[in-house]
Amino acid sequence: MTQTNCGTSAVVLFSGGQDSTTCLFWAKERYAKVYALCFRYGQKHATEIEAAGKIAKMAGIKFHILDASFISSLSSCNALVNSSIVMDESKPEQGPPNTFVPGRNMFFIGMAAVFAFHHDADVIVTGVSQTDFSGYPDCREPFILSMNETLNEAMDRQFRIETPLMYLDKAQTWALADSLGVFDLVRTETVTCYNGVKGSGCGHCPACLLRNRGLKTYLKQRDVKTE
């Protein structure tokens, strides 16, 4: 993870949220060329894509939007792509929450790999995290490892999926953004909130609760250090 990769190109799955923005700057520090890939797939909030474009511009990284609306056509019955469904605020006892879009990360990573195939990039960076996986099976490391092998077999290439946040909690992700010099940018410019509110968000959706709890913890740790 700390090696230098002169000449290597990386494709970052980039939604404009806290996690993928941190990954974008992480990749920028490591790879000679970085592509930011954003997916349009019937999210309820266009503000997410706008925020992503603005952040990529601030980072000086070329921004590509890929149409992945087939994902919502396949699964029109979940809460992230259908406003008439009230989303689960926490993980149910059994199974994933109704914000789970089956196959989403598989399609995103697969599309990023085809983009990488055509742009001679061999690294794919995604901000998934097993620590805060919220019941989504496709955020766990076994999925990522299997997906990596599948990509290599499918296209006869040696891709490498990098997941810098896999074992970080949200406080540690804030610390990483800070160490990359983008703490304020991530705090004010990103959209993590399920209700599409930029920065600190709506404050009550599961994504906001997780983000704000992590921020509080990190700020406390930082205060202790600087005292």
Of the candidates 19, 48, 132, 138, which one interacts with a copy of itself according to CB under 8 A? 138
**Quick one: which segment of 5-13, 63-71, 84-92, 191-199 binds a copy of itself (CB under 8 A)?**
63-71
Q: Per CB under 8 A, which of residues 73..132 are in contact with a copy of itself?
A: 73-75, 77, 95-96, 102-103, 105-107, 110-111, 113-115, 117-118
| Strand residues in the chain grouped as ranges (E) | 5-13, 31-40, 62-67, 123-125, 160-162
How many residues can be counted in the chain? 227
Sheet containing 62-67: give its strands across: 62-67, 31-40, 5-13, 123-125, 160-162
What φ, ψ does residue 32 adopt, rounded to 5°? -60, -40
Rg of the chain over Cα atoms, rounded to whole angstroms, equals 17
Cβ at position 77, least distance to a copy of itself in Å:
7
Cβ at position 22, least distance to a copy of itself in Å:
23
The sign of the CA dihedral 5, 51, 215, 131 is: negative
Does the protein bind a copy of itself through residue 193 (CB under 8 A)?
no
Count the residues of the shown chain that bind a copy of itself, applying the rule CB under 8 A: 37
The Cα–Cα gap between 24 and 55 comes to 10
Give rounded-to-5 percent helix, strand, coil for the chain: 45, 15, 40
Of the candidates 14, 143, 159, 183, which one interacts with a copy of itself according to CB under 8 A? 143
Cβ at position 137, least distance to a copy of itself in Å:
4
Does the protein bind a copy of itself through residue 13 (CB under 8 A)?
no
Residues contributing to the site for a copy of itself (CB under 8 A): 66-70, 73-75, 77, 95-96, 102-103, 105-107, 110-111, 113-115, 117-118, 137-138, 140, 142-143, 146-147, 149-151, 153-156
